[in-house]
Amino acid sequence: MASSDAPAPEVRAAARGVAPPGVPWRLVRYTLGRLTAVFITTVIGVYLTILIANMGGHVDEIRRATIRESLAISVGMAPEFQHLTPAERRQLVEELAAVQYKRLGLDQPFLIRSFRYLANALTLNLGRAEQLTSDSGSSQVRLILLERLAPTLLLTATSFLILFFVSLFVALGLSRRYGSFLDRLSVALAPLSAGPPWFYGIFLILIFAAVLRWLPFGGMVEAPPPPTPGAYFLSLMKHMILPVSSIVLSSLFIGIYSWRTFFLIYSTEDYVDMARAKGLPARAIEGRYILRPSLPFIVTSFALSVIGLWGGSIILEQVFNWPGLGRLFYQATQVFDTPIIVGNTIIYAYLLAITVFVLDFVYALVDPRIKVGAEGRWP
């Protein structure tokens, strides 16, 4: 991943001509360092997830009981075992179960098994679901999860992008009009962000779907799906409006408030006054003296809020009937489909890890310390 991602910023840094020689190498080293760190933390995180999921061997108990039960049924039903006494039959079930345990590795101590689970989880070899299947009919957990990944990514990526750029530009605009009515309004609205996305989703559904009947209650496309790609796209857009708006609404005001405060603090620095005194145009001051130095902090705060939003999107999907990972999670908890629950948790760990890594990478692009090499954050 590092090799495919790294060249782009090198080229860009070189093309801009701001970087002294040796910078690309530093960027690559930083990226590789972060990648290793994120990988190690992901492995530990996934392992912890497995430990919690298997706490006290609960999951194994369930699996053992399931195996024994299905064997008992098949032995009881089979005509060739009719002549056996109940005791003999029970012994036969135990013998067959022992073979199954051995086959599934359930006879080994938990420590060894946990590492096997870890290896399986890391390679997304997540086994078979107990009840749920993918839309194509497979019960492979990996296929089920991959099928649901795309809608989740579509929803969250769209919301995050809108959230980032809208907050950024509105905050910049407000810091320019400090003290105006809009500015005070945004400060007054900031406490609204106390609610999670699904909470605003309920209100939006109430207004736009239940009362006004303008937009659909939920789902990703109309049923049946429109035949032409154009109509499909339009229907998708229509269904995305409410969920995306709820994510954006839930974090927009707090983002605007805190970033505007950041910009205000930076615009009172002496060098900004100096630039103003020199008569530089407002755009240049904003871009070069206010936005540029505050960008690393903005990226960090955005990263933290995105990480919080991943969790929130689970329920949002449930509220909006969005066929993504979150809704799958809910469905799996309803029928106690353990492999899917565990697999889903692991997928979320991966998504968080990728988010952290991507944002770290963006951070590296905007943080001058890494480019100029005063001090790298890692290693």
Q: Which stretch binds other proteins (CB under 8 A): 113-121, 148-156, 188-196, 361-369?
A: 188-196
For the purposes of burial, counting CB atoms within 10 Å of the CB of 104, is it exposed (0-12), middle (13-18) or buried (19 or more)?
middle
Q: Which of 8, 11, 52, 157 binds other proteins (CB under 8 A)?
A: 52
Smallest separation, CB 205 to other proteins (Å): 6
Nearer to other proteins, 192 or 284 (CB): 192
For 168, 178, 246, 251, the CA distances from 162, given in Å and listed in that order, are: 10, 23, 12, 11
Residue 224 makes CB contacts below 8 A (sequence gap 6+) with none
Q: Closest Cα partner for 365 from 3, 5, 38?
A: 5
Is residue 221 at the binding interface for other proteins, with CB under 8 A as the rule?
A: no
Is residue 314 at the binding interface for other proteins, with CB under 8 A as the rule?
A: yes
Nearer to other proteins, 129 or 314 (CB): 314
Q: Which of 244, 247, 248, 341 binds other proteins (CB under 8 A)?
A: 341
How far apart CA 207 and CA 185 sit, in angstroms, is: 23
Q: Which of 9, 127, 151, 196 binds other proteins (CB under 8 A)?
A: 196
Is residue 298 at the binding interface for other proteins, with CB under 8 A as the rule?
A: no
CB of 115 closer than 8 Å to CB of 122: no
Q: Which stretch binds other proteins (CB under 8 A): 71-79, 160-168, 230-238, 351-359?
A: 351-359
How far apart CA 362 and CA 300 sit, in angstroms, is: 10
Is residue 356 at the binding interface for other proteins, with CB under 8 A as the rule?
A: yes
Nearer to other proteins, 263 or 289 (CB): 263
Residue type, 328: L
Q: Please tell me whether residue 128 adopts helix, strand or coil conformation.
A: strand
How far apart CA 279 and CA 293 sit, in angstroms, is: 20
CB of 235 closer than 8 Å to CB of 222: yes
Nearer to other proteins, 342 or 370 (CB): 342
How far apart CA 340 and CA 344 sit, in angstroms, is: 6
Residues in contact with other proteins by CB under 8 A are: 37-38, 41-42, 44-45, 48-49, 52-53, 55, 58-59, 178, 187-188, 190-196, 198-199, 202-203, 205-206, 209-210, 217, 261, 264-265, 304, 307, 310-312, 314-315, 318-319, 329-330, 333-334, 336, 338, 341-342, 344-345, 348-349, 351-353, 356
